[in-house]
Structure 1
Amino acid sequence: MDSEVIVLGSGIIGLTTAVVLAEGGRRVTVWAREPAEETTSAVAGGLWWPYRIEPEHRVADWSVRSFDVYAQQAEHAAVTGVRMRTGLQLGAELAGLGPWRRALRDMRAANSAELRGEYVTGVRATVPIVDTGTHLAHLRDRLTAAGGRVERRAAGSLDEAGRTAPYVVNCTGLGARELVPDPGVRPVQGQLVVVENPGVEEWLVSAYKDATATLYALPQPYGLVLGGTAVEDAWGTEPDPAVAAGIVARCAAIVPEVARARVLGHRVGLRPARPAVRLEAERLPGGALCVHNYGHGGAGVTVAWGCAEEAAELLEA
């Protein structure tokens, strides 16, 4: 009983945390309100890059650790869904990037021939791109192989989980707003379009921190992911045709060949934003130890492994 842990949430943060705990010898059960393929993680474009996440000094360590794990997983891309791809962050400058950039050994300023449109600055780097559908299935398989399991169950409260096991890890993302409750967790809606890839091999992004409209083209095995949006406090999950048309137009202005690409699908997800990630332990009224691991904004993929390992350490403290 003392080794049993309930992990709340089946997105990339929850499943990664569950894998770290189970492979570390814990008996882990994930309570999933919805299956992994219906979480926000499944909608994500999957690019490793800190975006809409604080605090910077902690994000750096989480991001670098996750980068290292993904780089190893990329050696088995067909199974893990992780690939290392070189690309271009338009509008960025080396001096303006956070300390997480130390993970990017090949990062350099883009030259004038590499820039697109009206952009006069940019940086090039090789980073992981995660096909989240494949990766979430991989994490589930690893969890099962380590003796863990996923149970379709929504927690009515943290105490309910604490009455079932002496340790709880809260990875409920936006759900923490009601479950904790934590009104500091707010949605940042993101819409994207998936098109047939017309031959784009490198990723391309322009996403300023506070911009509502962003621009990215991310090559994935299933198509080219075009984005996007970042609308604060918007709860809708139905794609807006006008927004989709705007996304394609923005991308086509930089990558003209996407204008004629066949549309394969539309996606909308709600990023779980918070002024700062909550990664800390507290004792629940019934005595169980709860570690909170939520509020990762637009960077759940980017920090998943670093945060999971720190969450595991907090359970041992």
Structure 2
Amino acid sequence: MDSEASGEVIVVGGGVIGLATALVLTWRGHRVRMWSRDPAQRTTSAVAGALWWPYRIDPVERVGPWSVRSLRRYEEWAGRAAETGVRMVEGVHAGTRLDGLGAWAGEVAGLRDTDRGLAARLPLIDMPAHLAWLHGELTATGVPVERRSVTSLTQATAAAPVVVNCTGLGARDVVPDPAVRPVRGQLVVVENPGVRTWFTAADPASDATTYFFPQPGGLLLGGTAEEDAWSLEPDPAVADAIVARCAAVRPEIAGARVLGHRVGLRPARPAVRIEREVTPSGRVLVHNYGHGGAGVTVAWGCAEEAARLVEGADG
């Protein structure tokens, strides 16, 4: 039976957005195949620090509901942290205040202003463990995950009547959509000297940020937000500056042994694209990309909206 006769949906892209979308479609009764150029552990998602928080993403009025939908899932999965990689962890957003946030903040329990900034208990996701768990959930439902490099979405629309485009930064070429641009993020992983809480401080006037996230594999230090930078090679001078900024907040970080370096390219866009179109050949193509630095934060809300568009409903 070919794909058109069987009514299969092909999800293109194997990062957290693609995995979430494929799972939601499967849960809703669709027959799904996934095409991914890379294994999940080699996608940008695997590099993410992965604190739940709407960060560098628009449109604001839609991001709030998407984020809250995802938050509810993470809160549930935190009860199985060893399995899912999701934990609820305390921390502070320095320079952020409750009255500067959108209506979505009213859905987040325990947010409170303090002298240090906005204190919160939020989901912190160990992405290697979480991606492995999502992949296992997907394969357990019988969804085939195929290694494919796609240069044009017509390759997918020729193979199935419905295609969901979750290609992230790759959408710049495969759509093609020049509005998708990389925002380079560099992190340093150090041996945790005893830090149990997370911390973030962003300077809107700079491409340098300061954050640390305690993960099972070490303390993740960041970071950068360099627009239109494509290099995946860690910059030693940038790494030194990251450690120094974090150590200014927690001095014990200064002497921590460096375990590794990570670089990822966030798929930024002026606004997330979740949209349904019908191709000239009558195929349905649903786009779900452009999530910038907040893919983990909005993944499940966006996946649910994409699934509704697959079914022909309004998002």
- Name which of structure 1's ranges 151-160 and 293-302 shifts more when overlaid on structure 2: 151-160
Match of 2:150 among 139, 150, 155: 155
The one-letter code sitting in structure 2 at the alignment partner of 1:92 is T
CA RMSD, Structure 1 to Structure 2 (Å): 1.0
Question: Does 2:206 correspond to 1:202?
Answer: no
Letter in 2 for 1:24: R
Q: Which amino acid aligns with 2:299?
A: A
The residue identity in structure 2 corresponding to 1:271 is R
Deviation track 1:257-301 (CA, whole Å, cap 9, x = no partner) reads 000111000000000000000001011232210110000000000
Partner of 2:186: 191
- Structure 1 gap ranges (5+): 116-121
Q: Which residue of 1 aligns with 2:56?
A: 52
Question: Between Structure 1 and Structure 2, how many residues are aligned?
Answer: 308
* 2:73 matches 1:73: no
Does residue 255 (structure 1) correspond to residue 250 (structure 2)? The answer is yes
Hey, what's the Cα distance between the residues in 1 that align with 2:13 and 2:173?
14
CA distance in structure 1 between the aligned counterparts of 2:40 and 2:103, rounded to whole angstroms: 31
**What amino acid is aligned across from residue 254 of structure 2 in structure 1?**
A
1:192-220 per-position Cα deviation (integer Å, ceiling 9, x unaligned): 00001111111100124453000001010
CA deviations over 1:47-90 (Å, ceiling 9, x no partner): 00111100000000000000000000111011111001111000
Which stretch of the first structure deviates more once superposed, 248-257 or 15-24?
A: 15-24
State the match for 2:294 in structure 1.
299
**Deviation, structure 1 residue 2:** 4.6
TM-superposed CA distance for 1:156, in Å, is: 2.6
Q: Which whole-Å deviations, capped at 9, do the CAs of 1:140-167 have from their partners, x for residues lacking one?
A: 1111111212100012311110111111
Name 1:172's counterpart in structure 2. Answer: 167
Check conservation: 2:68, 2:104, Cα contact below 8 A. yes
Structure 2 residue 220 is the aligned partner of structure 1 residue 216: no
Alpha-carbon distance between aligned partners in 1 of 2:105 and 2:255, rounded to the nearest angstrom: 35
What are structure 2's unaligned runs of at least 5 residues? none
Q: Is the 8 A contact 1:159 1:285 kept in 2?
A: no
Is this contact kept in 2: 1:87–1:202, CA < 8 A?
A: yes
**Identity value in percent:** 62
Residues 185 and 226 in structure 2, CA contact (< 8 A), matched pair in contact too: yes
Partner of 2:232: 237
2:19 is the alignment partner of 1:15: yes
1:105 aligns with 2:109: yes
Query: Offset at 1:110?
Result: 1.2
Counterpart Cα distance in 2 of 1:110 and 1:208: 19
Normalised TM-score (structure 1): 0.95
Corresponding residue SS for 2:293? coil
